Amino acid sequence: MRSKFDEQLSHLNNSLIEMAEIVKKAIENANKALIEQDIELAQKIIASDDDIDNKEKEIESLCLKLLLQQQPVARDLRLVSAVLKIITDLERIGDHATDISEITLLIADKPHIKKLEHIPQMADATMKMVTESIDAFVKKDLELAQQVIDYDDIVDNLFEMVKNDLIVLIKENAENGDQAIDLIMIAKYFERIGDHATNVAEWTMFSLTGTYKDSKIM
């Protein structure tokens, strides 16, 4: 019975890794579409959001089967419960990649008002956070999960840099206003992606310790 359960947990981990890879690719492509003002790629990202939603439903179904058929206790129950939370955060990251692409479509017909520097850095940082938060879960690595949580400060600092740079551009020329606001929104979506990756790391810690944000739950 235990070997069957372990096999199902392995399948669950693999599905979670697959979903994270799809999400990470969506972030990467959203960044690329923005930088290159690639309308076709932005449209593909928007259309592919269904793939992420379907993966979420697939993993949710796996979790529910595990809960109903195996009736896990203690650590195994925490693990399955954490996965149900993690896939919600991954799905929201996919939504934000779509949000970024929708704004990209709106501003693709005019040159960028400044060279994009910190926004691509935010994209790279959030992809790193998504990858490492899932790695921490699969490898049961508390230290790596904490590193992901700490790394969110870098994303937050980059967001402040983007915001401050664009505010200066608006003050210099009011005609920069519309695009500057759109770029601030894009940066905010990347900042939220970092928050969701942080959530994944926090649920990873819960799966291992039963504690979520310093509160003992299970």
Range of the domain at 150: 2-216
**Of 3-7, 45-49, 66-70, which gets the smallest average pLDDT?**
3-7
**Of 6-10, 19-23, 27-31, 133-137, which gets the smallest average pLDDT?**
6-10
Backbone phi and psi for residue 71, each to the nearest 5 degrees, phi listed first = 45, 60
Band of pLDDT at residue 206, cut at 50, 70 and 90: very high
Do the bridges between strand 211-212 and strand 215-216 make them parallel or antiparallel, or are there none, so unpaired? antiparallel
pLDDT of 71: 75
CB atoms within 10 A of CB 5: 15
Domain count, the chain: 1
- For 178-208, b/e burial (b = at least 16 CB within 10 A) is ebbebbbebbbbbbbbbbbbbbbbbbbbbbb
pLDDT tens-place string over residues 76-100: 889 999 999 999 999 999 999 999 9
Band of pLDDT at residue 67, cut at 50, 70 and 90: confident
CATH of the domain at 209: 1.20.58.220
pLDDT tens-place string over residues 168-199: 999 999 999 999 999 999 999 999 999 999 99
| Amino acid occupying residue 72 | P
Does 2 have pLDDT greater than 70? no
pLDDT of 12: 92
Work out the angle between the directed axes of helices 2-36 and 74-107 (0-180°, nearest 10). Answer: 20
From CA 51, how far away is CA 44, in angstroms rounded? Answer: 11
Average pLDDT over residues 26-51: 97
**Which residue did the predictor score with more confidence, 8 or 24?**
24
